[in-house]
Amino acid sequence: MIECLFVLTVISVLYLLAIPVADNIRNRKDVNTIMDEMALRQIEAIMECDYSDYDNDEYDIHVTYNRKGNVLQADSYQVGSHNMIVSLGTGRTYVKD
């Protein structure tokens, strides 16, 4: 009986330790998805020789690309526990943990 309680306690502790790791993985997946969508908008702006906007209401992100694919205003955005930075000019996007 005591062995069963011990095993259940160990499993419960391991489960509680895994929750933050799973949340971090989900946030990182969100960041990668956002970066992919932003790159798509940048390519559209270049291909169409026109302005292209990227909007994400969930994380309050708004980025505008000009016809050369450059960003009109640099900014940083908080996506979960990650800080996503969009650089001025080239529109390079990177994540700072």
Q: For 13-35, how does the pLDDT look when each residue is reduced to its tens digit (9 = 90+)? A: 777 676 665 555 566 678 888 99
Greater pLDDT, 33 or 4 = 33
pLDDT at 97: 72
SS (H, E, C) the chain: CHHHHHHHHHHHHHHHHHHHHHHHHHHHHHHHHHHHHHHHHHHHHHHHCCCEEEEECCCCEEEEECCCCCECCCEEEEECCEEEEECCECCCEEEEC
pLDDT tens column, 51-81: 999 999 888 999 999 999 999 888 999 888 8
Global confidence as pTM: 0.71
Residues 6+ apart with CB under 8 A from 97: 81, 82, 83
Domain boundaries, the chain: 2-96
pLDDT at 77: 92
Determine the pLDDT at residue 4.
Answer: 80
